[in-house]
Amino acid sequence: GAVVSQHPSRVICKSGTSVKIECRSLDFQATTMFWYRQFPKQSLMLMATSNEGSKATYEQGVEKDKFLINHASLTLSTLTVTSAHPEDSSFYICSASGPRDPDTQYFGPGTRLTVL
C-alpha cells in the first residue's frame, strides 16, 4: 500500500517553456500532497504543501506564480514550472499523506528536470 507515482520521470525542455509534472496516489486518498526540490548533494527542500480543493501553501522564497500547484482531486496533484530557466533544473519529488496517518509522507519516484 501507499504507492505514489510521478510522471514524467525525466524531462528536458528549452528555456522559456513550461513543464507540468503529475503526482498520483495510487492506492489511497491523499488529503495532503507535498512538493520538494532536491539539488545534487543536498537534502530535500519543501516547496509547497497542498490540500485537496484548496490553494497551496508555499514556503518562503518559492515563487507561487512560477511554480503553479493544483490539487484537484484526492489522488492527483500537479506542479507546473512556468517559463523554466536552467537554474530550475533539479530533481522534483512529490509526496502524499492520507487521513489514516497524516504525519507519514510517502514519496513518488521523482522527476528530473533539465532546462537547456
- Where does this chain bind another protein (CB under 8 A)? 32, 34, 42-44, 46, 49, 57, 91, 93, 102-110
Cell readout for 80 is 507546473
SS3 content of the chain, % helix, strand, coil (to 5): 5, 50, 45
Q: Which residue has the cell 509526496?
A: 95
Question: In the complex with another protein, which residue's Cβ is closer, 38 or 82?
Answer: 38
Closest separation in Å from C-beta 93 to another protein: 5
CB of 103 to another protein, least distance (A): 4
Q: Are the C-beta atoms of residues 36 and 93 closer than 8 Å to each other?
A: yes
Residue closer to another protein by CB (options 17, 104) is 104
53 vs 102, beta carbon nearer another protein? 102
CB 47 within 8 A of CB 37: yes
- Minimal distance, residue 69 CB to another protein, in Å: 15
- Encode 39-69 in three state secondary structure: CCCCCCEEEEEEECCCCCEECCCCCCCCEEE
Q: Is the CB of 15 or the CB of 104 nearer to another protein? A: 104
Question: From the CB of 87, what's the least distance to another protein, in Å?
Answer: 20
